[in-house]
Amino acid sequence: MTDKRKFHTVRGVRDILPPDSSLWNWFEATARDVLESFNFREIRLPIFEETELFARSVGAETDIVSKEMYTFHDPLDVDQAIKSVLGHGLDPTRAHLGSSAPASASQIWDFLNKFESLTLRPEATASVARAYIEHGMQTQPGLVKLYYAGPMFRRERPQKGRYRQFYQIGAEVLGTSDHPAIDAELIEMLTVLLERCKLGNWTLLVNSIGDPNCRPAYVELLREELRKVKDRLGQDSLRRVETNPLRVFDSKVPEEQAIIANLPKITDHLCDACRQHFDDLRRQLDLRSISWTHEPRLVRGLDYYMRTTFEITSTHLGAQNALAGGGRYDGLVEMLGGPPTKGIGFALGEDRFIEVIQAAGQISAASVGRPLDAFIVWMGSESYLAAVRLARRLRQEGLCVEMPAQELKVGKALNLADRLGARHAVIVGEEELLTGQFSVKRLFGRREIRTLPGDQKKLSEAELLEYLRGSGKH
């Protein structure tokens, strides 16, 4: 008896199939090209890290860390941990309590959590900071400019533009300088990528959320103001007044919008240094002809952000309309045990970029995918050998070639070539073996005008190569 159960992807993750994968590959290649043109270099990072890294950098109280991470324990490590405890004559199920009471499952879990706890990365800035410290990159000349690409994991309910395994490309600038020109150039880089993707319907939002000098006082002010109107706030906002007043700005409750609009703006309460930095940033954007909108409500969710925050939004997406977001995080590296370091970066959502590129319709999988240059039609065992050799030769020359494994009737073969989207059919049969000339037939797509006859010519192998290479470019 075989189990007939069908396997399927788990919630929130998905397969990316051809032809869509062509568009993904194009996008990634384009992004790499743009980022490297700004002298960013790729850093390849692990998919999982110590849980503690994310807890410390992203913030233990954030949604990401408190409820969205995929955390697990390496069985070997757990085994070792238990043995080491037993070796000290301790019962692992009781040792943590210091009493003889049996431990509950959750207490045991908490105990094991003290040992190697690993987490699938929910974002990658923490990993970059870790790598920067681990490899002593502060000794490198100039700024350290890195980019990464790959999947991230967050356990959220999926919806349009949001997945549990999603893909990000991010760029980070680390070093001793926090000059606003760095921030502006990073944003400029994003706009170049948007142009390369032929996207028009996007908006750049910028803000400054101050630094440890000025933000605490502002947060307190905000809390005071919110308490005055607390009877008009919803449950979510009410809770945030105490936990994290800045988050009230994220509320989408219609009744609260008027209240939010009247709240004091953080940019009116920046210290001199932060104000200067924000003013300079906007000047730097202006001199690059990048249009921006000051969005005082833009407060990013991760604890490590300070001063500059920015976001690119698109009208083509649903509720999850952020294509990319980022900001400055000057204290992060030091907080993780590294040298005092300035830093800024962004992450862009590949899933969302692809969505918007498809909606814009300027670039498609069909237009960037690799075409099938030739389909080889062969007849009889003698022509098969010649066909195999021809296929190898054409492929060596960089052409994409398909050849049926079994002999097909000519009509069938051409029909298949057509449906596969081949640009040419090359016929190898008795006649061609005798003359040394291959019959090449130009194929037209199913949608093209049918009255055009496929022009057919007889060419030697050398001529054939030339012909296929020449007509491949359009």
For RNA, the closer CB: 175 or 345: 345
Q: Residue 114 burial by CB count (10 A; 0-12/13-18/19+): exposed, middle or buried?
A: exposed
Are the C-beta atoms of 288 and 188 separated by less than 8 Å? yes
Query: Which residue from 257, 253, 248 is spatially nearest to 222, judged by alpha carbons?
Result: 248
Residues 66/60, Cβ–Cβ less than 8 Å: yes
- Choose between 109 and 444: whose C-beta lies nearer to RNA: 444
Beta carbons of 337 and 353 less than 8 angstroms apart: no
At residue 199, what are phi and psi to the nearest 5 degrees? -100, 135
The span from the CA of 162 to the CA of 320, in Å, is: 7
Q: Which is nearer to RNA, 93 or 437 (CB)?
A: 437
- CB-wise, 295 or 311, nearer to RNA? 311
Mark out the alpha helices in 397-453 (DSSP H runs). 410-419, 430-435
229: phi then psi, degrees, rounded to nearest 5: -115, 25
Q: Considering the complex, state which of residue 88 and residue 419 has its C-beta at the smaller distance from RNA.
A: 419
Radius of gyration of the chain (CA): 30
Q: How far apart are CA 278 and CA 270, in angstroms?
A: 9
Q: Cβ closer to RNA: 103 or 248? A: 248
On whether the CB atoms of residues 289 and 192 are closer than 8 A, the answer is no
Closer CB to RNA, 11 or 283, in the complex: 11
Do strands 144-153 and 165-175 pair parallel, antiparallel, or not at all (unpaired)?
antiparallel
**Exposure class string for 251-285: b at 16+ Cβ within 10 A, else e:** beeeebeebbeebeebbebbbeebbebbeebbebb
Shortest distance, position 19 Cβ to RNA, whole Å: 14
Beta carbon nearer to RNA, 139 or 451: 451
CB 146 within 8 A of CB 39: no
CB of 288 to RNA, least distance (A): 21
State in angstroms the smallest separation of the CB of 415 from RNA. 4
**Shortest separation between residue 409's beta carbon and RNA, angstroms:** 5
Q: Are strands 48-50 and 165-175 parallel, antiparallel or unpaired?
A: unpaired
Encode 335-380 in three state secondary structure.
Answer: HCCCCCCEEEEEEEEHHHHHHHHHHHCCCCHHHHCCCCCEEEEECH
Side chain identity, residue 215: R
**130 versus 300: smaller Cβ distance to RNA:** 300
Q: Give the other-Cβ count within 10 Å of 186's Cβ.
A: 22
* Nearest approach, Cβ of residue 102 and RNA (Å): 27
Q: Give min distance, CB of 286 to RNA, in A.
A: 24
| Minimum CB–partner distance for residue 129 and RNA (Å) | 14
Q: How far is the CB of 372 from RNA (least distance, A)?
A: 12
Query: From the CB of 175, what's the least distance to RNA, in Å?
Result: 22
Residue 95 CB, nearest approach to RNA (Å): 31
210: left (phi > 0), else alpha (psi -120 to 50), else beta?
A: left
Residue whose CB is less far from RNA, 116 or 250: 250
